[in-house]
Chains A and B, each alone.
Chain A
Amino acid sequence: MSGASVSLRSVGKSYAGRTVLNGVDLDIAAGQFVSIIGPSGAGKSTLLRLVAGLDAPSYGRIDLCATGHKADVRLMFQEDRLLPWRSVLGNVLLGIKGRKQDAGRILNAVGLQGRESEFPVGLSGGQRQRVALARALIHEPDLLLLDEPFGALDAITRAAMQLLLEQLLVARPRTVVLVTHDVEEALLLSDRVLLVKDGGVARDLIFDQPRPRHRGDPALATLKEELLDGLLTAERDLAAVARIETRMTT
């Protein structure tokens, strides 16, 4: 299986005295597609940023392991973060010398052939995220980290992007960690779903339905209900805490 494996050993992170992650242990096998869901502020994005190496953990150890070379990690954000002063091609080739043909091939794969010389300002939200995806994939990363990449897109564009991502991963498998708050997206795409709350992994669910999956699948629907319940309890807990806190301050 291609891709990098990830291991976290009692990883914790706190910002300004507030604990966000509290001793997380996690192993992700090479080539696995893992989705992380959880209530807002539960530390999903923090976990991803730690794995990406953008932030250092307060304590604990994170290892990436690829066969034969240093694992290449690419990150895609909710905002496309395209450089507005660079053309589509220039954005895809960020940090790369030459390789115009590869860029053309990958832009072809994300359905943006013929748009190479345009500036991002003329593209729609979905097209911009396609460019961001192409920019990540041209590096052939062993580990692809996706921080709610389709969260800001409309429902139809999002469905199209999910399909595109799945196709690209079938063609070239790699390890993927997707942070999302769309439970259905998690179940459609991943081999494993993690529910993160209270600074740790509350549920770890292996989901090996055959692909391609369909939204109407009963197995998917049952799991979706169950996970949503888990999420809602978490949100209710948060709301209760907030109520107690306001009562204490007033």
Chain B
Amino acid sequence: MTDASLLSRPADAAAAALAAGRTETLPRASEPVVTVVADVAGPSETAGSRVRGLAWRSLLLPWLLPLGLLLVWQFLSATGILSTAIVPAPSDIWDAARQLAARGELQHDILVSLRRVAIGFSIGALGGLQLGLAVGLFESLHDLLDRSLQMIRTIPHLALVPLMILWFGIGEEPRLVLVAMGSLFPVYINTVGGIRNVDPKLVELGKSYGLGRAELIWSIILPAALQPILVGMRYALGVAWLTLVVGETIASRDGVGYLVQNARELLRIDIIVLAIILYAIAGWLSDLVTRLIERRLLRWHPNYADRVKA
């Protein structure tokens, strides 16, 4: 066989090359080949300290990035690379916060905003939950209400601000109504979806074990739909804060939104940035609370069983 004929048959050529190149590294059939998959001395202290190390890591690691950014930010401001006319230094913001706190304004505004979110969200989420339960559980109510609700849902609720002012004036009501409307639909949609996705086999089981309608809902349908409902609540809480930012720009006399409005007129960039940071902290805290609730209520769920995260 000539070289040319070898080349014309690529499969043979490849096999020949393989054989020539690899025979030396291939073990002989008689030699045992040992692959060490794992070699652990024993379940000693190392395992425990590793778990503790992991806990510390998941506790500290999320803070690394914000703290690092803060340090870089302070450094850039201090060296003048970042003009304080554009963004104030973190230390300036801290000073502004201390001044506001000393006059009692900061605490007051934060509390007022928290109260608005709490009231608006409670009304909206409860309404969304009730509507969702009604529509999810009763076919006739689904036919009656769902289409209308879906239509209302598509309206951006912030577009209703002028209407709200006309209807309710410039008091607390338009803000609360807006926050409630923003929180209602995420909860509604997830509740309906959660109920519709309940495993029919479990419902059948409940029926064959003689559960009445109320007990079927309480023991099987609601717990099965709980996870999506809580996801809806988390999302709604985010929308509630977003709505509040807009709502508090409507002729308000207190609240974090008012703080921003006022600071803009006085050209106090430090207070504006402070307010933005406050929103970030508020969002993070409310998310943390809902996640803690989730972990408690869904502790039976394999995905939530032993995840500790803030």
Residues of A within 8 A of B (CB): 52-54, 74-75, 77, 79, 81, 83-86, 94-95, 119-121, 135
Which A residues touch B82, using CB under 8 A? none
CA distance A77 to B199 in the complex (A): 14
Is B204 at the interface (CB under 8 A from chain A)?
A: yes
Docked-complex contact B219 and A83, CB < 8 angstroms:
yes
Which A residues touch B224, using CB under 8 A? 85
13 A–B pairs (Cβ distance < 8 Å), ordered by A: A53-B208, A74-B208, A77-B201, A83-B219, A84-B300, A85-B298, A86-B223, A94-B206, A94-B209, A94-B219, A95-B206, A119-B300, A121-B302
CA distance A86 to B299 in the complex (A): 10
Docked-complex contact B301 and A95, CB < 8 angstroms:
no
The contact string, 1 if C-beta is below 8 Å from chain A, for chain B 270-306, is 0000000000000000000000000000111110010
Q: Separation in Å of the A24 CB from the closest CB of chain B?
A: 21
Interface core residue of B208, B209, B224 (most chain A CB under 10 Å): B208
Given contacts A83-B202, A83-B219, A121-B305, contact A54 B300 (CB under 8 A): no
CA distance A86 to B208 in the complex (A): 18
Given contacts A95-B209, A121-B300, 8 further A-B contacts (CB under 8 A): A52-B208, A54-B207, A77-B201, A83-B202, A85-B226, A85-B301, A94-B206, A119-B300
Which listed residue, A52, A54, A94, A121, touches B211 by the CB 8 Å rule? A94
Judged by DSSP, the binding face of B is helix
Is B220 at the interface (CB under 8 A from chain A)?
A: yes
Given contacts A79-B201, A94-B219, contact A85 B300 (CB under 8 A): yes
Is B210 at the interface (CB under 8 A from chain A)?
A: yes
Is B205 at the interface (CB under 8 A from chain A)?
A: yes
Given contacts A95-B215, A119-B300, contact A75 B208 (CB under 8 A): yes
Q: Separation in Å of the A159 CB from the closest CB of chain B?
A: 26
Docked-complex contact B301 and A84, CB < 8 angstroms:
yes
Interface residues on B, range: 20 to 34
CA distance A81 to B302 in the complex (A): 16
Which A residues touch B301, using CB under 8 A? 84-85, 121
Docked-complex contact B220 and A83, CB < 8 angstroms:
yes
Which B residues touch A81, using CB under 8 A? 201-202, 205
Which A residues touch B298, using CB under 8 A? 85
Judged by DSSP, the binding face of A is loop
Interface core residue of A54, A95, A119, A120 (most chain B CB under 10 Å): A95
Interface core residue of B209, B210, B226 (most chain A CB under 10 Å): B209
Which A residues touch B299, using CB under 8 A? 119
CA distance A85 to B205 in the complex (A): 15
Q: Separation in Å of the B202 CB from the closest CB of chain A?
A: 6
Q: Separation in Å of the A128 CB from the closest CB of chain B?
A: 13
Interface core residue of B201, B219, B224, B226 (most chain A CB under 10 Å): B219
CA distance A77 to B215 in the complex (A): 21
7 closest A-B pairs by CB: A85-B223, A95-B209, A119-B300, A85-B300, A81-B205, A121-B302, A95-B210
Which A residues touch B220, using CB under 8 A? 83
Residue of A nearest to B223 (CB): A85
Given contacts A83-B220, A83-B223, A121-B300, contact A95 B211 (CB under 8 A): yes
CA distance A85 to B220 in the complex (A): 9
Within B208-243, the residues touching A (CB, 8 Å) are 208-211, 215, 219-220, 223-224, 226
Residue of A nearest to B208 (CB): A75
CA distance A46 to B215 in the complex (A): 27
Residue of A nearest to B298 (CB): A85
CA distance A203 to B188 in the complex (A): 55
Q: Separation in Å of the A38 CB from the closest CB of chain B?
A: 22
CA distance A52 to B204 in the complex (A): 11
The contact string, 1 if C-beta is below 8 Å from chain A, for chain B 191-209, is 0000000000110111111
Q: Separation in Å of the A127 CB from the closest CB of chain B?
A: 16
